[in-house]
Amino acid sequence: MTSESRPHTPAPALLPGPVLLLGAPGVGKGTQAQFLMADFGIPQISTGDTLRDNIARGTDLGKAAKGLMDQGQLVPDDLVNDMVKARLSQSDVERGYILDGYPRTLGQAEWLDAHLVSAAVETLPLVAINIRVDEQELLRRITGRRICPVCKTIYNIYSKPPKKEGVCDNDGTPLQHRSDDTEEAFTERMKAYNSLTAPVIEHYSHQGRFREVDGARSVEEVTASIESALRELRQAGE
Ligand code: AP5
Query: 5 falls in which pLDDT band (50, 70, 90)?
Result: low
- Which residues fall within 8 angstroms of residue 55, CB to CB, at 6 or more apart? 62, 63, 65, 66, 69
Q: What is residue 10's predicted lDDT score, i.e. its pLDDT?
A: 53
Could you report the per-residue pLDDT of 144-180, keeping only the tens digit for each? 999 999 999 999 999 999 999 999 999 999 999 999 9
- Counting the structural domains of the chain, the total is 1
Please give the residue range of the domain that contains residue 17.
3-134+196-236
Mutation to probe ligand 1, out of 74, 157, 168, 197 (largest number of atoms < 8 A from CB): 74
Q: Classify residue 59: in a domain, yes or no.
A: yes
* Contact of 99 with 45, CB cutoff 8 Å: yes
The question of whether 178 is a catalytic residue gets the answer yes
- Please report, for the domain that includes residue 65, its CATH number: 3.40.50.300
Q: Classify residue 180: in a domain, yes or no.
A: no
Could you report the per-residue pLDDT of 10-63, keeping only the tens digit for each? 555 788 899 999 999 999 999 999 999 999 999 999 999 999 999 999 999 999
pTM > 0.95: no
Q: Classify residue 157: in a domain, yes or no.
A: no
Residue 24 alpha carbon to ligand 1 centre in Å: 7
Q: Classify residue 232: in a domain, yes or no.
A: yes
Is the pLDDT reported for residue 118 higher than 80? no
Q: What is residue 163's predicted lDDT score, i.e. its pLDDT?
A: 98
Query: 1 falls in which pLDDT band (50, 70, 90)?
Result: very low
Q: Classify residue 81: in a domain, yes or no.
A: yes
Q: Classify residue 72: in a domain, yes or no.
A: yes
d(CA 84, CA 20): 13
Q: Classify residue 165: in a domain, yes or no.
A: no
The percent of residues above 70 in pLDDT, for the chain, comes to 92
The question of whether 189 is a catalytic residue gets the answer yes
User: Nearest-CA neighbor of 234 among 47, 16, 29?
Assistant: 16
The single residue of 95, 132, 160, 178 carrying the catalytic annotation is 178
Q: Classify residue 182: in a domain, yes or no.
A: no
Could you report the per-residue pLDDT of 185-225, keeping only the tens digit for each? 999 999 999 999 999 999 999 988 999 999 999 999 999 99
